[in-house]
Every structure is written in structure tokens, then in C-alpha cells.
Amino acid sequence: MGRAFETILPWGKNGARDTGAPAEAFVERILWLSAAVSVLSIVLIIGFVCFKGLPLIGKVGLADFLFSTKWDPTHGQFGIGAMIVGSVAVTAGALLWGVPLGLALSIFLAEIAPRRIAGFMGEVVNLLAGIPSVVYGFIGLVVLVPFIREHLGGWGFSILAGALVLGIMILPTIVGIARDAILAVPREYKESSLALGATHWQTITRIILPAARSGIVAAIVLGMGRAVGETMAVVMVTGNVTRVPGSILDPVRTMTSNVVLEMGYAHGDHQLALFATAAVLFVFILALNLIMTLNMKAGK
């Protein structure tokens, strides 16, 4: 009887599946190869950008490169201070209204809306992530810029226009991750809170949100990374002027916009300065990811 079962079943005497071992080993090698290629690609990109950009930073000086506001490649002046201020201003403006709206929508979808409505609205929010950034930029160009120029003053191309467009673009990232973090909170927390007499709103603000803190912070950090790295939409609505803005109605140029606008004709030190700008962007994004990782570890 035992021999019959050993013949019929694909397992050997020790319980190992003999016929599947070669296939599993092949799939494992493919997965290892994929991981190695991904890591190698990142390392090569980092090395190439740093190899191109660091000599220029060493030539100009790190302080002058980061804090000088004079960007005049034809005269050998490479200061990205104004672009750093522009990037920070546009990103901060986007987070200022995008984060509260995204968190409110996440709470509504996860805890308040009926399941059918939450599913429909969730799909609509996810659809925003599939819209090309140039479409957001075009809408901002033909709607937001004239509105700001006619009703608030200035050129219309401004920090405000960029912040409004980016605030919409980061919503899918913030809503998707924050909603999943809220839904991942054990239901026993909510049930225990309600059983002790707390209201639904008290349970959300004092129990569920603190328990989902690490996921919510991760959503905000990833949304910030998306805003910092966005290019096309920002190019179309911010005016691309290399000077420090005095108000939210002034035009600015971000670091990503600077690379995109000038890389096509740059050469020599000018091209190296653009690679150095990309290296600064990479360090900034790396710092954001490090903050997110440390926060998630602290949350555990």
C-alpha cells in the first residue's frame, strides 16, 4: 500500500516534492537575477551621476553651489540656491493643502463611507495616478494660471500654481497608502474603544490614527518625494525664473525643471552642473526614504 502511494503521489519518502525541485530552483535563480539586476542598475545610476556631478561641486565649492543664487552658465556661475528655494516652496505648498485633504479622504474611505461608495471613490482616486503629468500641467496652464493672474495678481506663473497642481498629483499616493494603513489597524482596537463608550470620531482620532501613524508618515514622505521629483507639470505652470521668490505669486524654477530645460544644449561645466543638480536631488530623495524607513522601524 505504501509503495502504491509513493508511486501515485509526487512526494518522496522524506516529504519533499521531487518533480518540482528543478523548476523551483530555476525560478529561484531568476528571482535572484532580477534582484541583482535591479540593485546593479541603481548602483550604476548613482555612480554615473556622482561621477559626472561631484567634480563640478568640488570645483565651484559645495557652499557656493548649494547657497549661491547666481546661475549664469555662460560666465561660469553655478549656484542652485534659487532652485532649491523654488523646489522647497512648491513642495511645501503642495503638502500644505494636499496632505490634509488626502488624510481626510483616507479616513472617509476607510472608516465612514459605505463600502460601495468607498470602492467607487477609491477607483476614482487611483485613476488620478494614471493621468499623464503633462495633462495636469496643461490644465494648470489654461485654467489656474489665467485665474491667478486675473484675480490675485502677478504673472499667473507662480509658486501657487505649481503647489495647486502638485497637490492634486500627490493625492493618489497619500490616499492609497494612508487608507491601507488605517484599514490594517486591528478591528479589535475599534471595537474595544466603542465598547468603552468612545464615539466613532474619538475612536478614529485617538485610537486608529495613532495606531496607523507609521503608515501615514510613509504616505506623506512618499507624496513629498513625488512632488520633489515632478518635472513636466511644474515646468508648465511655475514660470521657470532663476531667482528667489518674494511671495507665492512670484515665478520660480525648481531643480528638476532646471535639468530638463537646459540639458538639451548644455556642454562642458554647464552639463556637469546639471548632473550635480541631479546628485543633490538624489541625496534629498534618499534622505526622505531614510526618514520613512526609520519612522516605520520606530512605529514597530
Tens of pLDDT, residue by residue over 188-232, are: 998 898 888 889 999 999 999 999 988 898 898 888 888 888 888
Check residue 295 and give its pLDDT: 66
Query: What residue type is assigned to position 219 of the chain?
Result: A
> Grid cell 500644505 — which residue?
96
Picking from 219, 255, 221, 249, the residue whose alpha carbon sits closest to that of residue 237 is 249
Low-confidence ranges of the chain (pLDDT < 50): 1-13, 15-17
User: Taking a C-beta distance cutoff of 8 angstroms, is the pair 89, 245 a contact?
Assistant: yes
In the structure grid, which three cell numbers stand for residue 141, read together? 496652464
Check residue 300 and give its pLDDT: 57
Check residue 1 and give its pLDDT: 47
Burial class (CB in 10 A: 0-12, 13-18, 19+), 128: middle
User: Taking a C-beta distance cutoff of 8 angstroms, is the pair 281, 229 a contact?
Assistant: yes
Check residue 297 and give its pLDDT: 67
